Structure 1
Amino acid sequence: MPTEGNAFVVGSLVIVDDGVHRQVALLESRDETTGTVRGRLIGAIADGVLDTRTSHAFGEAAVSPVDLDALDLLHAATGAALEVGGDLTPPGGPARLLPHRFNRHTFWCGQSGSGKTYALGVVLEQVIAHTALPVVIFDPNSDFVRLGELNPGATGPSADALRERDIRVLRPNTAGAEPLRARFLDMPIMSKAAVLELDPVADREEFNALLHLRELFEVTDIANILPTLHNSDEPAHQRLALRLENLGLLGWEVWAGLNRAATEVIDERPDATVLDLGGFSTPEQQLVVALSVLDELWNRREERRPLLLVIDEAHNLCSPQLDSPTAVAVRERLIQIAAEGRKFGLWLLLSTQRPSKVHPGIISQCDNLALMKMSSPVDLEGLATYFGYAPTALIARSPWFRQGEALFAGGFVPAPTLVKMNARLTPEGGTDVSVPMR
C-alpha cells in the first residue's frame, strides 16, 4: 500500500479512506529519498466495528492518523485484553496483548539494564490475573520469587485478581519455603544416564549395567542405591558406585527424599509455579530440576493440559555451546518442545539478554516477539531474519529504547507496537546493586 506524505512515522497505525471504505493500516517502511511509505491493511471499519478479516483494494485515498476510538475497535476485534503499558506511537492510549495467542511460543529479549525482567513480570502478572493458563517459571536469579506478594497500595482489578491466585514458590534452601526438589527415581533412563554422565558407547559397560538395574533405579531412593552397588560382585556395578561417589551426587540437596518433587506440585496446576533455580550450590542441580520437569511434561504431553513454560535467562538452558550431558539433554528437550509442543499445549516464553546464545532451532519456532533495548548489531540482524513479521525499521530503533520500552510484534499483539511498560503490581525479587557512596 503506497501512499505519500511525511507526517507519519514507521510503526504508526493510520486510517485510509477512499470515500467508500475506511480501513486501518500499519505503516511498515519508508523510502527516505522519496518520502513514500508502505504498509499493510489490517481491517475495514463499518457500522462501528473493525473487521480484521476484510480489506479492500483502493487507488487514491486520504490517509489520516488513527484515533483512540479506532484503537479501541482494533483491540475489541482482536481480543486484546491484557493491558501491559502505554502505546508510544500517536495517539497513544493503552497497549494490550491478546491472551489467547500465548498458545504460541514467545521470544523476549533485551540487554542488561533494558528492564527486561521487570517488564516480563508486568506481562506475567496480567497472564496470571486474567487467564486460566497455568504458568511455570524457571527463575535462575530469584527475580520472580515475590510474585505471590503485592506492592503496598496496589489496587484495581488486576491486583484484586492476583490476590486470589494460587502462586507457589519452590526454593532450594530457604526457611519456610516449599523445597525445590527432583526425584531421581522418576527420571527416564536416558536422563538418569545424563545425570551420571554416562555415554552409551564410551561407557558401554556402566551404561549397560544401568539398563539392567532399571528396576532398582526406579524403586530405590538414590541415597540407598550405593550400598546395593557396592555389595554386588559385578565390576560394572562397582564402577557405577564409584561414579556416584566421585560426582558427589549423594550430597546434592536437589533430591526429593521425603519431600515432594517439583513435578508433583506442577501436576496440581496452580496458577503459577516459580522454580527458584538460583539457590543451588552447583549449576548441575539447576539442570537436574529443569530436566526432570521438562521430561515429565513431555512424557505426559498426550494429556494436553495447557501450560506456559517461562525460561528466564534462556541462554543458561538453550545455548548451542552447552556441552555437559545434562545440559545437552535439557536443550534437546526444549528443542523438541519448541518444535512439537504447541499442539500438546506446551508453550514456551524464552527470555534472554543475548539472542545469539540461544539455539536457532528454538528461536525459529517463536511466533511472538518482545524486544527491548538491544545494541548488538549481530543480535539485531538475527532478530530481523527470524521475525519477519516485525518491521525492520522498528527493530532498528531498539538501540535507542529507554529503560522499560519495548517492541511487541507477532500474533499476541494486534499490530507491531512500541510500548512503555506499566509499573509492576508485585515486587521484583532481584534488583541492581547500587554503587557505594562516601
Structure 2
Amino acid sequence: MPAELSIGTLLESEDAAPAKLNPAKFNRHTFWCGQSGSGKTYALGVVLEQLLLHTRLPLVILDPNSDFVRLGDIREGASAEVRDELATRDIRVLRHGDREGLPLHARFLDLPLRSRAAVLQIDPVYDAEDFNVMLHIEDEMQSMLRTGGMATVTEDGALVKFLRGSEDPARHRLATRLENLGIADWDLWSWGRDSVADVIDEKPDATVVDLGSFGTQPEMRSAALAVLDHLWLHREDRIPRLIVIDEAHNLCSPEPETPLHRLLTERIVQIAAEGRKYGLWLLLSTQRPSKVHPNALSQCDNLALMRMSSSRDLDELGSVFGYAPPSLLERSPGFAQGQALFAGGFVNTPVIVQMGARLTHEGGIDVSVPLR
C-alpha cells in the first residue's frame, strides 16, 4: 500500500509534481469547504476514491444531495488496474423509496429515548409532561422487547395500536402525536426489516446513506440521527470509521431550531469532541464555515479549502485554523474550479493543489443551459 494518496498536482510546481495526502492522518477530523461552483463535491470524491483504493478505512457517507450514490460506478477512462481494484470494494448505497440501491430503513425502537422524543418533536424541558410519559413507559417497552412480548409492536402500525390499547390518556396523546405528524407512516422505519445499522455493522468499504432521497427534512435528519446514534452507542467497539457529512450545514448548524435538529447537532459535536479516541473521525463538508456549529469546526485538524470569495469567511477560517498560512488563505478567491488549499496533519506543509480526475461518476452534476 502506498504511503500517500495521490489527489492531483501541485499547482505551482514546474514539473506538475503529484500532490499527495497522508492517509494515516485521517484519524483526525477534517473540514472541507468551498463556495458553490468551486468543485468541492467533485474534489471530495477524488479523495474518497483514493481512500477506498489504498486503505481499509470504512466510509460512512451521509449524502443530503445524492452526490455520492454512484461511488461504485467506475468511469470508462479508468485504467484496467484501477477498475479491477475498485470493483472488489464493497460499496453499498442505501436509498429511500423505490430508487436503485438497498432500502434505507432504521428501527424506531432502537433509537435512544431522547432521539425518539426528538423525532416526535418533544423537548425534555419545554415538553416535560409528554417526555415524562415516554420515560415512564420506557422500562415497560424495553422489558417486553427483551422477552419477546413486544414483537407485534415492531410491525407496521402496531406501535400506535399499543399506545391506544391503554386507558392512560397520556399514552393516547403520544399516539395522536405520532399520527398527526405522520411519523408512524414514514417509510424510514424498518418495522421488522433490515436497518441501516445492520449494513454498517457488516463493515462494508463504503456505506452511502442517500439522505437526498427523502422528501422532508425531519425524515432526512431522523435517518442521519439513527446512523450517528448507532455509531456512538457502539463506540467502545473501537472500529475505525470515517464519517463523511456532505453539506454539513443541513445537520450541524450553529442555531438548530427543532428538538430533532438540536439533538442531531449535539451528537455531531459530541463525536467531534470525543469520537477521535474511539476511531470515529469526521469529515465535514460545506460551503461556508459560519454554517457549521463552531464546536464541531474547532475540532478539525485538517483543512481543505476551495474557492471562497467572502472575506468574513476567510477571516473565520484564519482564526480557527491557525496552521493555514494567511498568505495562502488570501489566494482562495482567485482559485479556479478544482483548485484547493490543503493544510494540517494530512500534508507535510500547506500546499495548493489542482485536483485530479474522478475515477467514478458523481451523482449530482450541474444542470447545463439548454442551447438552440
The answer, yes or no, to whether TM exceeds 0.5 is yes
- Paired with 1:256 and 1:306, the residues of 2 have a C-alpha distance of 26
* Alpha-carbon contact 1:173-1:279 (below 8 Å) kept: yes
Give the structure with the higher percent helix: 2
Q: Which residue of structure 1 lines up, in the alignment, with residue 133 of structure 2?
A: 209
How far apart, in 2, do the equivalents of 1:321 and 1:226 lie? 32
Which string of whole-angstrom CA distances, capped at 9 and with x for unpartnered residues, describes residues 317-370 of structure 1?
110122111111110000000001000000000000111110110110000000
Of the three residues 212, 215, 218, the one matched with 1:278 is 212
Alignment partner, residue 108 of structure 1: 32
Residue 191 (structure 2) pairs with residue 257 (structure 1): yes
Query: Is the 1:116–1:372 contact (alpha carbons within 8 Å) kept by the matching residues of 2?
Result: yes
**Corresponding position: 1:389 with 2:323:** yes
Match 2:17 to one of 93, 98, 108? 93
Whole-angstrom distance in 2 between the partners of 1:406 and 1:176 = 33
Matches of 2:100 and 2:36 in 1, distance apart? 32
Aligned-pair identity (%): 59
- Alignment correspondent of 2:260: 326
Distance in structure 2 (CA, Å) of the matches to 1:388 and 1:429 = 34
Q: Return the alpha-carbon distance in structure 2 between the equivalents of residues 344 and 156 of structure 1.
A: 37
Deviation at 1:102, TM superposition (A): 0.3
**TM-score if structure 1 supplies the norm length?**
0.80
Q: Where do 5+ consecutive residues of structure 2 fail to align?
A: none
User: What CA distance in whole angstroms lies between the structure 2 residues aligned with 1:84 and 1:174?
Assistant: 35
Q: Which whole-Å CA distance do the structure 2 matches of 1:426 and 1:267 have between them?
A: 25
Task: State the match for 1:71 in structure 2.
Answer: none
Shift of 1:253: 1.2
Contact 1:338–1:365 (CA<8 Å) still a contact in 2?
Answer: yes
CA contact (8 A) 2:324 2:344 kept: yes
The structure richer in strand per residue is 1
Counterpart for residue 352 of structure 1 = 286
For residues 394 and 433 of structure 1, do their structure 2 counterparts lie closer, same or farther at Cα, with a shift above 3 Å needed? same
What residue identity is the alignment partner of 2:43?
A: A
Local SS of the residue matching 1:351: strand
Query: Aligned ranges for residues 169-318 of structure 1 at < 5 Å?
Result: 169-214=93-138, 215-216=140-141, 219=150, 220-221=153-154, 223-318=157-252
Equivalent AA in structure 1 for residue 361 of structure 2: P
Q: Structure 1, residues 136-163: CA drift from partner, whole Å, max 9, x if none?
A: 1001111100101100131154433211
SS in structure 1 at match of 2:163:
helix
Deviation digits for residues 224-260 of structure 1 (CA, Å, limit 9, x no counterpart): 1111222221111111111111111122111112321
Per the normalisation by structure 2, the TM-score is: 0.94
Task: For 1:104 and 1:407, locate their aligned partners in 2 and report how far apart those are by CA, in whole Å.
Answer: 18
SS in 2 for 1:318: coil
Query: How far apart, in 1, do the equivalents of 2:315 and 2:81 lie?
Result: 40
> CA deviation digits over 1:356-390, x for unaligned, max 9?
11011011000000000000111110001111111
In structure 1, the partner of 2:366 is: 432
Say which SS state the counterpart of residue 194 (structure 2) adopts. coil
AA in 1 matched with 2:315: E
Query: Which ranges in structure 1 are unaligned for 5 or more consecutive residues?
Result: 1-75
Which has the higher relative contact order, 1 or 2, with Cα contacts under 8 A spaced 6 or more apart?
2
Residue identity in the other structure for 1:119: A
- Check whether the contact 2:92–2:101 (CA below 8 A) recurs between aligned residues: no
Amino acid across the alignment from 1:303: D
Residue identity matched to 2:258: S
1:121-140 aligned within 5 A: 121-140=45-64
Q: Residue 406 of structure 1 aligns to which amino acid in structure 2?
A: A
Q: Alpha carbons of 1:100 and 1:89: their partners in 2 closer, same or farther (altered >3 Å)?
A: same
Q: Residues 142 and 278 of structure 1 are in contact (CA less than 8 Å); yes or no, is this contact kept in structure 2?
A: yes
Quote the offset at 1:178 in angstroms.
0.7
Q: In terms of Rg, which structure is larger?
A: 1
Q: 1 CA distance for matches of 2:327 and 2:243?
A: 30
